[in-house]
Amino acid sequence: MSMTAGTKKSRPSRAKIALVSAMTLGLAAGGVALAAPAQAAATNYACQVVPLKPIFAGFNSSGTKLVDYRINVYCGANRYVNIEQQRWESDDWPNGDDHLGNSSFSRYLGPANGWHTIHNVRTLTNTEIGNEEVYQKVRHQEGVGGVWSPFTGWTGSGTTSMSN
């Protein structure tokens, strides 16, 4: 009988442990679920910034090829937008990509402006034997009424291969 009594006592203990564990997990999951909408609201931007695939833009007076690193920008409401751009040359593993430079742009876009294209024309940098594979990354922040959003994450363009 002592085994039966011991078993009866341990079942309620096991049930209590299981219940406490389930409640703890439920509370933890509930905290995550409650935090998610706040994060989503913080990343709700009124502007779209799209890095376009770089294109050939002619030659400078020295005969060096030029590349146009274009960025399309659209704001659905009156906004100031700050854009940071990084220009890169892609390399295969194990070599890392070559950082070619940075640029920053500030624009005011009203609701009637529609899509606006920023052109950043640069010389094609010779970083290797063979073609140069160039691309860009951009991120932005928006401002209205003196209040600025945090910067978005980096967004990359497609890669263009150009002979040098």
Tell me: do 91 and 70 sit in the same domain.
yes
Tell me: do 102 and 158 sit in the same domain.
yes
Token match 């609701």: residue? Answer: 111
Range of the domain at 108: 47-162
CATH value at residue 151: 2.60.40.10
Tell me: do 78 and 29 sit in the same domain.
no
Q: Return d(Cα 12, Cα 118) in angstroms, integer.
A: 69
What mean pLDDT do residues 43-70 have?
92
**Domain count of the fold of the chain:** 2
Q: What percent of the chain has pLDDT over 90?
A: 55
Tell me: do 63 and 143 sit in the same domain.
yes
Tell me: do 82 and 130 sit in the same domain.
yes
Question: Residue 59: pLDDT above 80?
Answer: yes
- The dihedrals phi and psi of 26, each to the nearest 5 degrees, come to -60, -40
Tell me: do 81 and 156 sit in the same domain.
yes
Q: Which two tokens stand for residue 142?
A: 């928006």
Q: Report residue 58's pLDDT band, with 50, 70 and 90 as the boundaries.
A: very high
Q: Report residue 110's pLDDT band, with 50, 70 and 90 as the boundaries.
A: confident
CB 127 within 8 A of CB 97: no
Tens of pLDDT, residue by residue over 76-87, are: 778 999 999 999
Tell me: do 68 and 97 sit in the same domain.
yes
CB 117 within 8 A of CB 124: no
Tens of pLDDT, residue by residue over 5-33, are: 544 445 555 555 554 444 444 444 444 33
Tell me: do 73 and 123 sit in the same domain.
yes
Q: What is the pLDDT of residue 75?
A: 86
Residues found in the chain? 164
Question: Residue 41: pLDDT above 90?
Answer: no
Tell me: do 34 and 56 sit in the same domain.
no
Tell me: do 32 and 85 sit in the same domain.
no
Question: Residue 74: pLDDT above 50?
Answer: yes
Q: What is the pLDDT of residue 28?
A: 44
Tens of pLDDT, residue by residue over 138-155, are: 999 999 989 999 999 999
Tell me: do 3 and 25 sit in the same domain.
yes
